[in-house]
Chain A
């Protein structure tokens, strides 16, 4: 394999692994802050217990998220140095602002939150929880603004052999970035909801700490339902926007080849890299409607893009369907769970199934990012710089070596981390050792 493919694999491995932990951090931090706020407002100890129990799981998750994130910032320099030179003027400053304005806050106050249970008043402690939650989500904004620039570059001019910033306001108000934010953050809350619901269901089935886990279940399922709906609705707007910003991605995710008006969506479709292997059962105009909210609109097909400008079709197509399929499942599952939430003990099969649903939102998020990043190919910055021109002139041997090392290290740490979280989750809140123990 050449250094380009190895670097792509390394980046994919690093981001996907990082992204096991990030969405839970984003979502759960907010829910924990809500629990602590409820404790401050009502004085009910059960909320404090909730914050502490879910907080313990949060901390293990957080540690893995932070340490794997550090690698990512530096990978732009190590593996994608030509990219860093070309767009560093814009992209680099966004990362630097993220560190200065958000990551500092998050990392400093996670220590305070962790060690401050006995040193701060409940109110002050709840404030630190909000600082951590706010800073994590603020981080997400800056990172997604940076990613938004790669998806839909704005506010720059090509000068001195690179992209130079001309309009910072355009960069930070990039519609693409904000559509990503309002898709990813609600999806993260949905994920945190299912995480809480899954673990609570496991305990409710065993009648452990019923009051505690019923309260947690109700919180989790409500959050999951609200944000499952929000994410799906926002996803539609996101798809609409693609027809303006990244028509090739839109065509690839639908495996749509011929430019046409009243474009159909096929219920049965087997995609291929050079045309569809099979297409049957068309729903006339549906694709046009999804792309433009208009059944008669013209949708550009992949055949109208030069072959070297087409993204990988099969992977884009499948990841899009996986994401949407799971999204639909979440709405149904969370809807049903919400309706029966107060008598959920009468649905043992649901309680048995829910813990196994915890991984599903992770798959949906991965699929979404696969579509986002693979669908952008062959561009690293859409329409501006090709991925193949962005890679560092380092040896394939070095990249291969660190790729293997990183994969082994991440697999080991991930396995240990997940094993620890399962262990802590099963132990439940009855364990009275202090949170830091």
Chain B
């Protein structure tokens, strides 16, 4: 009995992971090598043909859109989250309140955020265009103009992600030892010097972590796209996950969609590896 105990403890987790993670990975790889019928059963073995056709067509196009989306949203999101965290970490009365306010987007789902921004970005009656008009900038057809649609969706994503980035940065700040600031204060360092020379290096692991997680998250964007633009206008916001969804659950091409999913995974692994190669050196671990 004693010897069985550890296995009994991990059995529930292992069972769920086996059915809903391990098996699906193998199944996806398998499906990606087949033409499937509309029910998802593999019918004709075609080898790597899905991969070849994806790499010469739709996948590359949607990958490009996705990479643009990552570049639009992740850096801005990180900087904003960091600024909010630095503001709310000051020893002032009422910071608890501001901390709660800054983390509030965490409770807003992508579906909710998308709906609210759909209203705010309405080209005719929306408040965003109204304010832009007041500032003397012309009206923008945010979601129907191919030049703007990805920015518009990106804006929503940045806001939605702000709560997470803030909470992450704040918990990083809380791990910086107080003595370092005291020592710097004795040396006469001002607030800027303290931020630049102590805070930022000390929380660089947090920033790096937020970057890696943020990039992975942005590669997987779906909800805002599905609700706000459905991939349009003229495929300007057709990110990879949206393509996978279309391919699998609208066109019932489960084999091709599986190939896209695996290609996306490979790309994500590559980008994560790249970040570790380039980033780790600049990160200061305690």
The reply to whether chain A is a binding partner of chain B is no
Chain B interface residues (CB < 8 Å from chain A):
none
